Amino acid sequence: MPDTAAFTKYLPNFLFIMMRAGIFLSMIPFFSSKNLPAQFKIGFLIALALILTPVVEFKIGETSLPLLVIREFIFSMVLGLSVRFVFMAFEMAGQIMSNAMGLSIATVFNPEMGQSTEIGRLQGIIAMLLFLAMDAHHDLIYIFVKSYELVPAGQINLQALMPEGVALIGKVFVIGIKLAAPVTVGMVLVNFLLGFLYKAAPQMNIFFVSFPVYIVLGFLIMLLSIPVFIHVLGGYFGDIRIEMTRIISLARG
């Protein structure tokens, strides 16, 4: 009988820990990949909830069950988006660079983002490798586990959280445009130069000349900007911990 009572005591915490963890992990680039078997995802989620239930003090506030679930869903989505938006921005930067270089027609299926260009996929792989090399995932796990203690279920301040979620979506576009700026500006300058060349020699078939020029110069600019790219990427990954901490503070009200 005591064992049954202990199980009943921890069951609500287990279910809500699993719900928050499941929504959050579904936003993480690697865990949300379609290449990862669903059995592994479910097993990992249950194992994580079982580990955290006895060691994390997860309090459930006084509120109705539907409202509690909605609050948990929104909070977990915004918290996961604070990590996801950096990877989405780098994927978007690759898409913008592909459009500028004329390579957007070569699309492939990316298990992380769906349809993607090869450059966008390359950017995403580099971002993931650097994320793991910087041990940024350790900070992510630590802050997420602390969120159970700092933000009790049912006591989430949605009024302050919703604008933050919208702002994160806006940051995706800002970061993506910044990262793609060197290649995009370079392609604009090449277009101007090719335009002058066409005026000087109208008999030249500028359409066929421009494609190899775009590709060669685009990859050359990407190669020369790798050190800056890595530095900027590391800075954004360092900001993830600050962003998650700020979201948790807003959710506490």
pLDDT single digits (tens) 126-163 = 888 888 787 777 778 888 888 877 877 767 777 777 77
Task: Provide the token pair at 68.
Answer: 């509690």
Distance of alpha carbon 6 from alpha carbon 194, whole angstroms: 75
Q: Which residues contact 99 (CB under 8 A, 6 or more apart)?
A: none
Domain range holding 8?
2-252
Lowest average pLDDT, out of 32-36, 110-114, 123-127, goes to: 110-114
Assess whether pLDDT exceeds 80 at residue 62. Answer: no
Half-sphere exposure of 91 (CA within 13 A, CB side): 21
Assess whether pLDDT exceeds 60 at residue 111. Answer: no
Q: Are 236 and 175 in contact (CB under 8 A)?
A: yes
Could you give the number of structural domains in the chain?
Answer: 1
- Paired with 107 in beta bridges are 117
φ/ψ of 21, rounded to 5, equals -65, -40
Q: How confident is the model at residue 109 (pLDDT cuts 50, 70, 90)?
A: very low
